[in-house]
Amino acid sequence: MKRNEAADALKGANQDLRRLANDLKASRQSATKNRKLMLAILSCFDLADHTYRPSISFSAYGGRVSSTIEKLDGFKDPKLVRLLSALIEMGTSEEKTNDSPEYLNRDYRLKIPAPMGEIEVCIYAYAKEDNPTCRKILKSVSHRVVEDKTYDMVCD
């Protein structure tokens, strides 16, 4: 390697290290500034109820809280309604849902503006099969023909 190439490689490595240090510093600042909001979000969860399993992650631009809640008496179950109402009262910038009827599942995605970026809250709600308000109904059945090819390798 020539002297100029080595100097350029070293300069590039130093720039990468500075960029990583700045990202780490930004992530630390974000976590500190967003900590109060994250604690407020977590206070919406009844952590004594072990059907909640929240997890938390931070990034330089916000954070994420997600939780799976199973065995609900439908999607109007009081504990789910209380949780979503408390989160929405914090002021959401975006609210989305996605249904998976085959699993009696509804995913709720909320975005809450934070001092540094935003915090995404994802609630994965599953209703009991025998819940009184929600059921899955067979809509259609389809049959597919799949062609599978298998090969052998022959070498001379």
Q: Which residues contact 34 (CB under 8 A, 6 or more apart)?
A: 58, 62, 63, 114, 115, 116, 117, 119
Greatest mean pLDDT among 11-15, 86-90, 136-140: 86-90
Q: Which residues contact 55 (CB under 8 A, 6 or more apart)?
A: 65, 66, 67
pLDDT in tens, 93-130: 889 999 999 999 999 999 999 877 888 999 999 999 99
Return phi, psi of residue 56, to 5°.
Answer: -130, 140
3-class secondary structure, 130: coil
Average pLDDT over all residues of the chain: 83
**Which CATH number applies to 3-127: 3.40.50, 3.30.460, 3.30.420, 2.40.128?**
3.30.460
Q: Which residue has the tokens 């350029």?
A: 8
